[in-house]
Amino acid sequence: MRRRVAVTINGTGYEHEVEPRTLLVYYIREQAGLTGTHIGCDTSNCGACTVELDGHTVKSCTMFAVQADGAQITTIEGLAKGSTLHPLQQAFWDEHGLQCGFCTPGMIMAAKQLLERNPNPSEREIRLGLEGNLCRCTGYHNIVKAIQAAAKVMAPGAEAKAPASVS
Amino acid sequence: MAISQMVGASIKRREDPRLVTGTGSYVDDLPQTAIVHMVVVRSTDPHARIAGIDTSRAKEADGVIAVFTGKELLSEFGAPLPVTDCFVPTKKYPKHYPLAIDKVRYVGEPVAIVLASSLSAAQDAAERVEVRYDSLPPVVDIEKAIEKGAPVLHDDVGSNLSYDVKFAAGDIEAAFREAEVKITQRLIQQRLIPFAVEPRGVVADYKPWARKLTIWSSTQIPHFVKVWAAVILGIPESDVRVIAPEVGGGFGSKIRVYPEEIMTALASRRLGRPVKWIEDRGENTKATHHGRSQIWDVEIAAKRDGTVLGIRPTQWLDLGAYCSQFGTFQVLGMLVAQGAYRMKAFDGRAVGVFTNRTPTDAYRGAGRPEATYLIERVMDLVARETGIDPVEVRRKNFVRLEDQPFTTLLGLTYDSGDYRITLDRALQMVDYQGLRREQAEKRKQGKYLGIGLSTYIEICGLGPAVPTQAAVGVSLWGMSVVNVHFTGKATVIIGSSPHGQGHETTYAQVAADVLGIPVEDIDVQHGDTAIGPMGMDTYGSRSTALDGNAVHISAMKVQEKAKKIAAHLLEAAEGDIVYEGGKAYVKGTPSKAVTIQEIAVAAFQTSRLPKGMEGGLEATTFFDPTNFVWPFGAHIAVVEIDADTGATRIRRYVAVDDCGTRINPMVVDGQLHGGIAQGIGQALFEEAVYDEAGQLRTASLVDYLVPTAADLPSFELEATITPSPVNPLGTKGIGEAGTIASSPAIINAIVDALAPFGVKDITMPATPEKVWQLMHRNGGTKR
């Protein structure tokens, strides 16, 4: 009855026997022990469980763990490099893009793909791109600002310019 | 304060690094060993006698440890769930236990609990619990609930009427005799689902041999949960510890002692193992209380010149199936319905009824959004009827600066404020006259632009001990401990329990200014009943007005003691000591100073203390202010209506708010953004809908519309600062102001846009369909 699942999450391999009905989000939280990916609904509306799977964002409550067999997954815990935050994490901090923080991991994962597809989005494009992620604290105002700020840092060539702006 | 560097600074929040990396711990993230999972079997029938519950098949299921029904647990409840007076001490209400005993009264009411070794085993077994219901006709309408012959929910109450109380002052008959304009209007406060993104969750761990209970709960009120868990379960309060870890939003929905906190604790005591329950979203829509659910009928007496003489509001409140802990708090709306305006008479009546729906309780603003919606709609209705601009009607009726401190007809005294200044600035920001010209031009082209105002005032900072004891049954104060350690670092403990408000950052700012200790050397702790005295927790925009000021006062006490120690170390008179920037010195000789860090070391060395002084550098404060605080402001919404679809687009949203001193303006603005969004949610999108059979039709996020990023504009905020005279920091509250102000601003704007169609009111949520219907009710012809 149980099925074997092997995935790579944030560069680490995991292999477990799971019930076929186990949702990917439960696998990530309970088997892999990565609780930064949250569960906020049961209808795929809130986006708190958003992760990156083989280069695409998915709502991990919408997939079975067995469907992810062999996949490369990135969760919120995989974004920072050592003690350096990912530019989106940094921007959410700088721009007060979070309050209670519960939607934040999913929001950042959704924003990451948004910027990868469209490195220089307009405010409207950012707002449309976040439609699958709900936040009740911020009114999205500072989330939009954070993504705009991160876009500047992540834009191609921005890193080369960074030292000048820091000094 | 001589030096103020941190108060007023938008420093980044220290909470955020753990939250943006996914390393904060909400209840569901806590490490767990040998944990038992609890699933609650809930009523599917809105009103029925329980003919029988067969748990035998569930008990036989794989992994099941135990199944309990209400009847089986009744003897273990030392008391029913708590109900507070909340403005209506005379109300009638039934005993309410965590599980239904012989009757169910709303869909979602707990009827049994299943305990199993895994969540999936508990879920599977819950489906094998067979409950036989003898259905009774449901009551799902506020007015029908108290009609003759309506089915009665509670035999021990006798009818569905919980209370019918008056709040009146002034000669209302004289006001109506004097009136040249009389208006009658019904306003609907639709039922709302609070929707914190983190649903509720509880882990309870009773250690039988130690006889101690620990509860981790996603709650706004760990201290009150501790008290009531002790009372209901018959455990000494000193053996109960409640911890609110990271809490993923509350908005009032986590303000009460919930059945699941008691049920997990009880199950843990029965089983001798930790028990965990995590609410799923479908469950949350029914098991976590709802907000609003009221009808307001108002009669207005006014003069042709726009003067409002008096109002006669009746507030019909839907308690839902039981009286929740703060279930009558919403009656506060009646007490503050006078708003920012002078009038001669007020004749209010509040009627509370039971219906077969989820209980209602506080939801962001709790009474003040309802009051503000009423009075701000009243101002616009008078403006429409008299043909006077809504701005002028407000100016004519405003409480004036020279009236402050102003006492309302019902006896509440405002602390401060010149309400013209926020309005004037907001009008300037939107270019009001320019917008009116544009509106007139657009109407000629068949385009509909609307401008809506809301010049609110709200009561918060609950509160002064004496009136809050009379109103809610407990004296509410602010609590803090400030403790400077041996190494000169400090710990601040607060009695409020944040869930997104940033207290760890802002209260460190408060203490840093008084003590001169670097802000990063001050830790703020909260949400654990084991680490400080009784706190009064978080609701009603009270934290900064109460606990924030308590931190200031404790820090001042520590500074006083530090000065005494410094005088001793410097061999000077205490009166000659100056304390600033974390240093103490004799007046005139700042070069010979002792630092707070040196003073801290001395505080732990008896030989270096003045004779007879106790060691340590610590102070505790219970702060009882002299009054509530009254933030105010002016919000203006500019909307455009799509004539083809009826959809409302918010073109601009401008707000000028005055919450007194702003400790961290970035955090204040963040609270406003979220608050405004929530009020817009009520105005345009959200409604908990029940069908006639008593079933909740909006029991998921597919059907209940929470605003998305694409539904909202960016907000344009400015501030004025009128420090409150009732606390040392001069702070007011800001957590609910946005929600209080924004719903009427949006609705006033939509009604303004639809004025050419003769529209005087639209009910919330103002969906595209409703707007379109109003535009076409006369075959699409304009009046």
Q: Express each pLDDT in B612-646 by its tens digit.
A: 999 999 999 999 999 999 999 999 999 999 999 99
Structural domain includes residue A71:
yes
Show residues of chain B in contact with A41, CB under 8 Å. Answer: 281, 700-701
Question: Which pLDDT band holds residue B489 (cuts at 50, 70, 90)?
Answer: very high
pLDDT at residue B32 in the model? 82
The set of residues, in sequence order, having a beta carbon less than 8 Å from that of A162 and lying 6+ positions away, is A153
Confidence of residue B783 (pLDDT cuts 50, 70, 90): low
Residues forming a β-bridge with B350: B165, B315
**Residue pLDDT, tens place only, B262-288:** 999 999 999 999 999 999 999 999 999
Interface TM-score (ipTM) > 0.85: yes
Residue window 23-62, chain B: list those with CB within 8 Å of chain A: 23-26, 28-29
Closest Cβ opposite residue B701 in set A41, A128, A138: A41
Confirm if A46 and A60 have CB atoms less than 8 A apart. Answer: no
The predicted model gives B715-721 an average pLDDT of: 98
Measured distance CA(B363)–CA(B290) in Å, rounded: 7
Residues 6 or more apart whose CB falls under 8 angstroms from that of B58 comprise B64, B67, B114, B125, B126, B128, B129
Q: Which residues of A touch B715 (CB under 8 A)?
A: 139, 141
Nearest to B499 among A75, A92, A100 (CB): A100
Query: Chain B residues with CB inside 8 Å of A126's CB?
Result: 709
Determine whether the interchain pair B23/A36 forms a contact, defined as Cβ–Cβ distance below 8 Å: yes
CB contact under 8 A, A43 and B20: no
Does B166 contact A at CB distance below 8 Å? no
Question: What span, in angstroms and rounded, lies between the C-alpha atoms of B85 and B329?
Answer: 8
User: Each residue of B547-567: pLDDT tens digit?
Assistant: 999 999 999 999 999 999 999
Using DSSP, how many helices (H) and how many strands (E) does chain B show? 22, 26
The DSSP bridge pattern shows strands B64-69 and B275-278 to be: unpaired
Comparing C-alpha atoms, which of B676, B656, B684 is closest to residue A140? B676
Q: Give the closest-approach CA distance of A119 to chain B in angstroms.
A: 19
Place B2 in a pLDDT band, splitting at 50, 70 and 90.
very low
Q: By the 8 A CB rule, do B281 and A49 touch?
A: no
Measure in Å the smallest separation between the Cα of B88 and chain A Cα atoms: 31
Q: With an 8 Å Cβ cutoff, are B16 and A34 in contact?
A: no
pLDDT higher than threshold 60 for residue A101:
yes
A contact test, residue of B21, B503, B717 with most A CBs within 10 A? B21
Among candidate residues A57, A78, A99, the one where a domain is terminated: A78
Sheet holding A12-18, edge to edge: A12-18, A3-9, A72-74, A50-53, A56-59
Do A73 and A112 meet the contact criterion of CB atoms below 8 Å apart? no
Contact A45 B700 (CB under 8 A): yes
Cis omega (within 30 of 0) for bond into B463: yes
**Confidence at B469, pLDDT banded by 50, 70, 90:** confident
Calpha distance A77→B22 (Å, rounded): 6
Rounded CA gap, B208 and B205, in Å?
9
Chain A residues touching residue B12 (CB < 8 angstroms) = 93-94, 96
**Interchain CB distance below 8 Å, B714 and A123:** yes
Mean pLDDT of chain B: 96
Whether A101 sits inside 8 A of B28 (CB atoms) is no
* Minimal CA separation from B280 to chain A, in Å: 7
Task: Domain of residue A17: give its range.
Answer: 3-78
Q: Inter-chain contact A40–B198, Cβ cutoff 8 Å?
A: yes
Query: Exposed, middle or buried: residue B32 (CB in 10 Å: 0-12, 13-18, 19+)?
Result: middle
pLDDT of B55 reads 98
Q: Do B709 and A85 touch (CB under 8 A)?
A: no
- Of B15, B248, B715, nearest to A102 by CB-CB distance is B248
Classify residue A158 as exposed, middle or buried by CB count within 10 Å of its CB (0-12, 13-18, 19+).
middle
A32 falls within a domain: yes
B260 in A contact zone (CB under 8 Å) = no
> Which position has the token pair 């990396």?
B21
Per-residue pLDDT at A115 exceeds 50: yes
Q: How far is A9 from chain B (nearest CA, A)?
A: 14
pLDDT value for B33: 83
Q: What is the CATH number of the domain that holds A21?
A: 3.10.20.30
A20 interaction partners in chain B (CB closer than 8 Å): none
- Indicate if the pLDDT at residue A164 is higher than 50: no
Token reading at B702 = 């597919």
Tell me what pLDDT residue B443 has. Answer: 96
Q: Which of B:554-593 have CB within 8 Å of A?
A: none
- The answer as to whether A163 is a domain residue is no
User: Which residues of chain B are within 8 Å of residue A19 when distances are taken between CB atoms?
Assistant: 120
Phi, psi torsion values for B711, nearest 5 degrees: -85, -10
What gap in Å lies between CA B322 and CA B395, rounded to an integer? 42
Q: Which of B301, B416, B315 minimizes the C-alpha distance to B370?
A: B315
Task: Grade residue A158 by pLDDT with cuts at 50, 70 and 90.
Answer: confident
Quick one: what percent of chain B has pLDDT higher than 90? 96
Count of structural domains, chain A: 2
Both A70 and A22 in one domain: the answer is yes
Distance from CA of B353 to the nearest CA of A (A): 30
The residue among B49, B43, B45 whose CA lies nearest residue B140 is: B45
B chain contacts of residue A46, beta-carbon cutoff 8 Å: 197, 281, 701
> pLDDT digits over B123-146, tens only?
999 999 999 999 999 999 999 999
Q: Does the beta carbon of B445 lie under 8 angstroms from any beta carbon of chain A?
A: no
Contact call for B22 and A76, based on CB within 8 A: yes
Residue B501 sits at the chain A interface (C-beta within 8 Å):
yes
Q: What is the CATH number of domain B412-461+627-783?
A: 3.30.365.10
pLDDT score recorded for residue B696: 98
Q: Which SS3 state, helix, strand or coil, does residue A39 take?
A: coil
Contact A136, B710 (CB under 8 A): no
Question: Is there a single domain that holds both residue A71 and residue A50?
Answer: yes
A112 and A145 fall within a common domain? yes
CB-based contact (8 Å) between B676 and chain A? Answer: yes
Residues B454/B341, Cβ–Cβ less than 8 Å: no
User: Within this chain, do residues A71 and A19 fall inside the same structural domain, yes or no?
Assistant: yes
Is the pLDDT confidence value at B3 over 60? no
**A107 and A46, same domain (yes or no):** no
Contact B120 A21 (CB under 8 A): yes
Could you tell me if B321 and B356 are in contact, meaning their C-beta atoms sit under 8 angstroms apart?
yes
- Is there a contact between A131 and B710 if contact means CB atoms under 8 Å apart? yes
Report the relative pairing of strands B64-69 and B110-116 from DSSP bridges: antiparallel
Count A/B contacts: CB-CB distance under 8 Å. Answer: 178
Q: Apex CA B438: angle with CA B436 and CA B439, to 5°? A: 60
Report the CATH number that the domain containing residue A121 is assigned in CATH: 1.10.150.120
Q: No. of H helices and E strands in chain A?
A: 6, 5
Give CATH for domain B478-623. 3.30.365.10
Q: Is residue A164 part of a domain?
A: no
**Residue A120 Cα, gap to closest chain B Cα (Å):** 18
Supply A163's token pair: 């030292």
Domain closes at, from A32, A52, A78: A78
Residue in chain B nearest A132 by alpha carbon: B708
Instruction: Test A38 with B25 for CB contact under 8 angstroms.
Output: no
> Could you say which of A78, A107, A140 is where a domain stops?
A78
Token digits of residue B294? 């009221």
CATH of domain B35-136+195-287: 3.30.365.10
SS3 state of residue B115: strand
Q: Is B392 on the interface with A (CB under 8 A)?
A: no
pLDDT exceeding 90 applies to what percent of chain A?
92
Per-residue pLDDT, A163 = 43
The predicted model scores a pTM of 0.97
From chain B, pick out residues whose CB is under 8 angstroms from the CB of A40. Answer: 197-199, 248, 281
- Smallest CA–CA separation between A82 and chain B, in Å? 11
Question: Does one domain contain both A74 and A8?
Answer: yes
- Name the minimum distance, in Å, from the CA of A59 to any CA of chain B: 15
Q: How many CB atoms lie within 10 A of CB A32?
A: 19
The per-residue pLDDT of chain A, averaged, comes to: 94
Of A43, A79, A126, the CB nearest to B701: A43
Instruction: Residue B246: list chain A partners with CB under 8 A.
Output: 100-102
Residue A162 pLDDT class (50, 70, 90 cuts): very low
* pLDDT for position A165: 38
Please give the residue of chain A at the shortest CA–CA distance from B200: A40
Q: What is the DSSP letter of B60?
A: T
Q: What angle do CA A31, B38, A49 make, to 5 degrees?
A: 40
| Residue ranges of chain B assigned to CATH 3.30.365.10 | 35-136+195-287, 412-461+627-783, 478-623
